[in-house]
């Protein structure tokens, strides 16, 4: 289901597809055979879906971008090249993540790695790269990606992802793709390593927090039980890499624009929002259907409720003015709202200022 609940991927008969309930008479749009397709992303805006299709037929297995309404399907990651498992996709639909191993390479096969593939990019990026520059020397599993594709968390038995990993247990790691730094999350600030396996890691949509289960006793002071313990940790935030100094992280530009030749003032999809505006709003700069706009209103007693498509971690401010003519200032309505994936709702008092409403993004502090 899409974050706003209006688009649903499902099975009808022998086909997998989706219904778009934005339409008065929703039509089922098929894109694959039931039982062979997993829908990884059903969008609120635009018509691009990310699916994992499994088939023994050459060219029919892998991760695909599917546009049912246009009848197109584009291969992102070939199932003939990678053994794909634990696949997922960022909430903005820009980056697919999966755990797997390269096929036809090495005997015995190399450990499972974690990879990402930007939909608008040109190749697969290995996430599980160690401090020595090589691949992880132990199996990596269960990746999960933040809403904007910046952070990837996963579990691994590898000992070369960070220096000093000698406990011999499965640990939890996070890679900040915008800075290139990898951290071990299942280690205390003083360097103490966990004395049991960790599993089941997930990350919040805004990338600020991760949770996982530990079977050890060293992470939580006073925890002497070997029973599974749920741990919540803050994800370290690093300075992003912006080699061309345009205010946009280099990796974000590669993910969404497939080049560093653009800058923050550009507008690739000609929707009136600059690349910098779209980066701040976490919308897609190459997709006109992905933009910050009002999605509707609902009358309430003494007021109304307005809603728009939001994204995790973005702060929004509703504003009003009496006329669209002239240079009258926009006046803030209510308090800022912290967004999440899906429709964001805010109540408006009819006695408040202005006849016209808009929503804008409050830029994050550097």
> Which structural domains are found in the chain, ordered by start?
1-68 (no CATH), 81-239 (2.130.10.120), 292-366 (2.60.40)
In angstroms, the CA 120 to CA 286 distance is: 9
Q: What is the mean pLDDT of residues 204-220?
A: 94
The DSSP element (H or E) to which 74 belongs, if any, is strand 72-78
Residue with tokens 């006329």: 323
pLDDT of 38-62, one tens digit each?
666 555 555 567 777 776 566 668 8
Give the pLDDT confidence score for residue 24 in this predicted structure: 46
Rg (CA), the chain: 22
Sheet with 95-102, strands from edge to edge, namely 82-89, 95-102, 113-118, 124-126
pLDDT of 287-322, one tens digit each?
888 889 888 888 888 788 999 989 999 999 999 988
In angstroms, the CA 38 to CA 60 distance is: 13
pLDDT of 135-185, one tens digit each?
999 999 999 999 999 999 999 999 999 999 999 999 999 999 999 999 999
pLDDT at 356 over 80: yes
Residue-by-residue DSSP string for 162-188? STT--S-S-EEEEEETTTTEEEESSB-
Q: β-strand 342-349 against 229-234: which pairing, if any?
A: unpaired
Contacts of 301 (CB under 8 A, 6+ apart): none
pLDDT at 108 over 80: no
For the whole model, what pTM was predicted? 0.86
Q: State residue 280 phi and psi, 5-degree precision.
A: -65, -35
Q: In the structure, what pLDDT confidence band is assigned to residue 34 with cuts at 50, 70 and 90?
A: very low
């Amino acid at each position: 289901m899409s974050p706003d609940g209006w688009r649903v991927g499902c099975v009808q008969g022998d086909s997998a597809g989706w219904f778009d309930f934005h339409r008065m008479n929703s039509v089922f749009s098929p894109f694959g055979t039931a039982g062979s397709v997993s829908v990884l992303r059903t969008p609120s805006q635009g018509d691009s879906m990310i699916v994992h299709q499994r088939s023994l037929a050459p060219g029919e297995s892998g991760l695909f971008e599917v546009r049912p309404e246009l009848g197109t399907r584009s291969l992102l990651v070939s199932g003939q090249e990678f053994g794909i498992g634990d696949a997922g996709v960022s909430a903005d639909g820009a980056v697919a993540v999966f755990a797997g191993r390269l096929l036809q390479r090495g005997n015995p096969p190399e450990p499972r790695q974690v990879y990402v593939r930007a939909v608008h990019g040109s190749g697969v990026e290995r996430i599980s790269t160690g401090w020595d520059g090589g691949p992880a020397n132990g199996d990596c599993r269960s990746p999960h990606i933040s809403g904007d594709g910046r952070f990837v968390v996963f579990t691994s038995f590898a000992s070369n992802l960070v220096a000093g990993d000698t406990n011999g247990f499965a640990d939890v790691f996070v890679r900040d793709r915008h800075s290139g730094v990898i951290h071990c999350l299942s280690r205390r600030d003083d360097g103490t390593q966990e004395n049991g396996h960790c599993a089941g890691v997930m990350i919040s949509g805004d990338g600020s927090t991760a949770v996982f289960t530990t079977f050890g006793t060293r992470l939580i002071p006073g925890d002497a039980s070997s029973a599974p313990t749920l741990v919540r940790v803050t994800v370290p935030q690093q300075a992003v890499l912006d080699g061309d100094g345009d205010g946009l992280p280099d990796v974000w530009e590669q993910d969404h624009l497939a080049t560093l030749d653009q800058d923050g003032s550009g507008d690739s999809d000609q929707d009136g929002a600059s690349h910098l505006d779209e980066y701040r709003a976490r919308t897609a700069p190459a997709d006109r259907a992905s933009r910050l706009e009002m999605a509707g209103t609902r009358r309430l007693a003494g007021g109304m409720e307005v809603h728009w498509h939001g994204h995790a971690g973005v702060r929004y401010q509703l504003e009003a003015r009496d006329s669209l003519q002239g240079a009258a200032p926009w006046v803030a309505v209510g308090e800022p709202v912290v967004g999440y994936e899906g429709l964001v709702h805010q109540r408006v008092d009819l006695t408040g200022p202005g006849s016209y409403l808009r929503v804008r993004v409050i830029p994050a502090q550097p």
